[in-house]
């Protein structure tokens, strides 16, 4: 009797059989999609499965399990604790399988590293356990596993393990990634008693079509285009409001897919639609706060969804790029995530919204996905030429298997722009005048500038409703304000909303006039989309006013050179209609490599690509890779007064034993935090909360917001608490 798991009391044979079931499931369901995996590779994978845990038969490990399940311990004088994955390799009878030299190396590395350890294999310890313990029990192990074992021990495999596969090994490297990655997927699923792939026969395309029929919608050009190219990689440029999500789902069709978006809010919104409006149950959700979201929705089997989402076994997974596309970091265990892409499609929505470093990672990840045989779709409102060129340069997109579509409505004109060679404060009179009879949206580049305008307007015009929305409110106040602005917009109330680039994404509003500070064109055109979003402009009046002098947030938020170039490019449209095609062409021009020379944007992009191209593999852990991606620019803080109000909730949460309750309390606390820039936080934080909230800091500043009146500037860095507080 040899055990593999203590919690389920499974034997090694039983556990191995679970893996074999998953192997069959994977082969039968997606075998034809895994183009790099031929019959020979499937066979190698089967061998890797058969032998992967055989090293667990060593007595030290067996006694560890026996202790846990309170069974009698076995006699042994061997006490070396050697990771079983290294030992397993030593028992494989390589000579009996007619392997080529390369196949032998693949099998050695897949088994030897199916767990990544911090410790390198130590030959002497491995020799000791194999010789004095495992080899002695050879017959019993062979009988239990019903497998042939090695006849004469050899330890050359340890030297082979020390030389790990890298990209320099050429094609075998990708075989290794698949073999090891699939073994880990199958192993982890089997350990969790889950199928390695779920809802294999679900087809999201069917649901979309049904949903659209019920609503009597017809497929538009974009949707017909993607639906007819399900076997290709697709790049589409399409303006907002074109039904991009549906078109992506139609492209996904019967396949397994990962759908990524930059913002968690938008991911939740899409998940909501697919899961509850279309009734598609094979969808999962995975991001840093997805558990909160699902718990809040009171989703019945949210735990199962969470588990399967984490296993990447969901048929359709809505997620953020940091969850699944960070394998260009080659962290220990990257093979599992990369191998998950091999039989799937990946959708990258709004690629222009990522900063250049992340964009570099995405481009690198597409290059790797292509290598393992996955497919991808890039959807975006504007595609920086720089990115497109890089995709071509690396042959990630080519004539043969990539289609390219642009879907723009140039018929309906929505914006006429006027450039003002002034600072935005000089437009205050105009905002007020127009806000008496219409809805005015003001967008500026920094929170500080937004507060400034808000205070001046509040002082001068008591008859005009003035509202403020930016990122430095507590999460709950910010959510409340986001709802307010939508309601205000729908109710056609007259007044002014002063906001920051926060509204560029994910807030669906349609104002009459936009007054904005200049920003790089891609961000500027997103702002334009919040004005006359679904209307056609009549007459000669400009509905967009852009102020180009003393713009805030340069260079802290936007590159100076990019802003300057953007102004130049817009000059020709002064007082004219700016249609959708022109917008796309201008952004393409702005982001040409030539024009970007000397910008921090280009430098960051190129440095990141070069880093990914020359990284030493297996140097970092998965956690470290995740940390590199986190937005290290901002930290969550709680103003001291608010902290005092909720201190008891924090204590309660620490005491709470019921995890459901704990999640709710945790959310209560998170709601009170404000994300602020690190350098701002450094000036005012005085202490940090203790675990598990040690990512949150307490700031000794005033917080000004009155939800009754809907008034207040949010956090006040200029007002420190008085010493008597």
Q: What's the rounded Cα separation, in Å, for the pair 354 and 302?
A: 29
Tokens coding 355:
């900063």
Q: Which is nearer to other proteins, 140 or 162 (CB)?
A: 162
Strands 466-469 and 495-499: parallel
Q: Which is nearer to other proteins, 108 or 309 (CB)?
A: 108
Instruction: Give the list of residues 6+ apart from residue 426 with CB closer than 8 angstroms, or none.
Output: 420, 547
Angle at 508 between CA 437 and CA 422, to 5 degrees: 55
Q: Give the nearest distance from C-beta 169 to other proteins in angstroms.
A: 10
Q: Which is nearer to other proteins, 123 or 394 (CB)?
A: 123
Phi, psi angle pair for 346, to nearest 5°: -125, 130
Q: What's the rounded Cα separation, in Å, for the pair 535 and 699?
A: 44
Q: Give the nearest distance from C-beta 158 to other proteins in angstroms.
A: 8
Q: Which is nearer to other proteins, 101 or 215 (CB)?
A: 101
Longest C-alpha distance within the chain, in Å? 93
Q: What is the DSSP string of 111-165?
A: HHTSS--SSPP-HHHHHHHIIIIITTTHHHHHHHHT----SS---HHHHHHHS--
Q: Give the nearest distance from C-beta 314 to other proteins in angstroms.
A: 38
Q: Which is nearer to other proteins, 108 or 472 (CB)?
A: 108
Q: Give the nearest distance from C-beta 118 to other proteins in angstroms.
A: 18
Contact of 311 with 194, CB cutoff 8 Å: yes
Q: What's the rounded Cα separation, in Å, for the pair 216 and 497?
A: 36
Tokens coding 382:
């504007």
C-alpha torsion 311→314→320→324, nearest 10: 50
Q: Which is nearer to other proteins, 163 or 535 (CB)?
A: 163
Strands 344-349 and 417-420: unpaired
Q: Which is nearer to other proteins, 135 or 217 (CB)?
A: 135
Q: Give the nearest distance from C-beta 155 to other proteins in angstroms.
A: 6
| H-assigned helices in 475-615 | 475-490, 521-528, 560-570, 580-590, 593-596, 600-613
Q: Which residues bind other proteins (CB under 8 A)?
A: 101, 105, 123-124, 154-156, 158-160, 162-163
Q: Which is nearer to other proteins, 43 or 124 (CB)?
A: 124
Q: What's the rounded Cα separation, in Å, for the pair 97 and 475?
A: 60
Q: Give the nearest distance from C-beta 495 to other proteins in angstroms.
A: 59
Instruction: Give the list of residues 6+ apart from residue 673 with CB closer than 8 angstroms, or none.
Output: 474, 475, 636, 637, 638, 696
Q: Which is nearer to other proteins, 160 or 677 (CB)?
A: 160
User: Can you tell me whether residue 301 is helix, strand or coil?
Assistant: coil
Q: At what angle do helices 171-191 and 12-30 cross, to 10 degrees?
A: 120
Phi, psi angle pair for 400, to nearest 5°: -65, -50
First-to-last alpha carbon distance for the chain, in angstroms, is 68
Q: Give the nearest distance from C-beta 708 to other proteins in angstroms.
A: 57
């Amino acid at each position: 009797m040899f055990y593999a798991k203590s919690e389920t009391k499974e034997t090694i044979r039983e556990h191995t059989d679970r893996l074999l079931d998953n192997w069959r499931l994977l082969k039968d369901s997606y075998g034809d999609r895994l183009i790099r995996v031929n019959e020979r590779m499937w066979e190698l994978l089967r061998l890797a499965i058969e032998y992967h845990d055989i090293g667990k038969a060593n007595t030290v490990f067996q006694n560890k399990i026996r202790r846990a399940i309170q069974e009698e311990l076995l006699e042994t004088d061997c006490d070396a604790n050697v990771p079983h994955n290294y030992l397993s390799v030593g028992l494989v009878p390589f000579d009996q399988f007619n392997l080529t030299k390369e196949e032998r190396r693949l099998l050695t590395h897949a088994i030897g590293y199916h767990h990544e350890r911090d410790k390198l294999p130590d030959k002497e310890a491995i020799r000791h356990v194999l010789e004095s313990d495992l080899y002695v029990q050879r017959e019993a192990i062979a009988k239990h596993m019903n497998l042939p074992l090695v006849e004469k021990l050899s330890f050359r495999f340890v030297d082979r393990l020390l030389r790990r596969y890298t990209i320099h090994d050429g094609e075998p490297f990708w075989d290794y990634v698949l073999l090891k990655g699939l073994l880990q997927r199958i192993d982890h699923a089997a350990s969790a008693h889950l199928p390695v792939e779920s809802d294999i026969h679900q087809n999201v395309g069917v649901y979309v079509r049904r949903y659209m029929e019920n609503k009597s919608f017809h497929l538009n050009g974009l949707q017909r285009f993607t639906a007819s190219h399900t076997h290709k990689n697709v790049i589409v440029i399409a303006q907002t409001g074109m039904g991009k999500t549906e078109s992506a789902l139609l492209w996904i069709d019967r396949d397994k897919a990962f759908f990524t978006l930059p913002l968690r809010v938008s991911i939740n919104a899409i998940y909501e639609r697919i899961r509850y409006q279309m009734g598609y149950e094979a969808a999962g959700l995975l991001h840093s706060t997805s558990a909160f979201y699902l718990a809040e929705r009171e989703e019945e089997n949210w735990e199962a969804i969470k588990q399967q989402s984490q296993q990447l076994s969901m048929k359709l997974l809505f997620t953020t790029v940091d969850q699944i596309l960070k394998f260009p970091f080659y962290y220990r265990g990257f093979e599992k995530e990369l191998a998950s892409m091999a039989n799937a499609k990946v959708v990258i929505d709004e690629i222009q919204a990522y900063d250049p470093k992340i964009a570099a990672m995405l481009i690198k990840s597409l290059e790797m996905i292509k290598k393992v045989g996955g497919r991808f779709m890039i959807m975006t409102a504007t595609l920086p030429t720089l990115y497109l060129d890089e995709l071509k340069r690396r042959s990630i997109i080519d004539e043969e298997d990539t289609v390219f579509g642009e879907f723009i409505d140039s018929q309906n004109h929505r914006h006429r722009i006027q450039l003002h060679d002034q600072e935005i404060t000089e437009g205050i009179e105009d905002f007020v005048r127009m806000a008496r009879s219409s809805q005015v949206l003001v967008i500026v580049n920094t929170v500080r500038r937004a507060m400034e305008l808000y205070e001046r307007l509040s002082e001068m015009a008591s008859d005009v409703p003035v509202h403020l929305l930016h990122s430095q409110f507590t999460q709950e106040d910010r959510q409340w304000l986001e709802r307010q602005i939508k309601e205000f917009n729908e109710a056609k109330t007259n007044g002014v909303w002063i906001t920051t680039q926060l509204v560029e994404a994910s807030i669906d509003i349609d104002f009459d006039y936009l007054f904005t500070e200049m920003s790089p064109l891609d961000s500027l055109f997103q702002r334009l989309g919040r004005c006359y979003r679904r209307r056609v402009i009549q007459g000669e009046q400009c509905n967009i006013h852009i102020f180009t002098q003393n713009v805030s947030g340069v260079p802290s938020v936007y590159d100076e050179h990019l802003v300057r170039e953007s102004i130049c490019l817009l000059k020709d449209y002064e007082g004219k209609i700016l249609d959708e095609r022109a917008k796309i062409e201008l952004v393409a021009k702005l982001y040409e490599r030539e024009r970007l020379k000397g910008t921090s944007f280009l430098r960051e992009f190129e440095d990141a690509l070069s880093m990914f191209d020359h990284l030493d593999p297996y140097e970092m852990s998965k956690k470290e890779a995740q940390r590199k991606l986190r937005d290290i620019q901002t930290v969550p803080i709680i103003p001291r007064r608010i902290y005092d109000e909720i201190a008891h909730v924090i204590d309660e949460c620490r005491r709470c034993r019921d995890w459901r309750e704990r999640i709710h309390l945790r959310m209560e606390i998170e709601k009170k935090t404000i994300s602020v820039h690190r350098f701002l936080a450094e000036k005012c934080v005085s202490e940090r909360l203790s675990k598990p909230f040690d990512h949150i800091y307490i700031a000794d500043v005033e917080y000004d917001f009155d939800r009754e009146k809907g008034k207040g500037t949010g956090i006040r860095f200029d007002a420190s608490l008085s010493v008597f507080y």
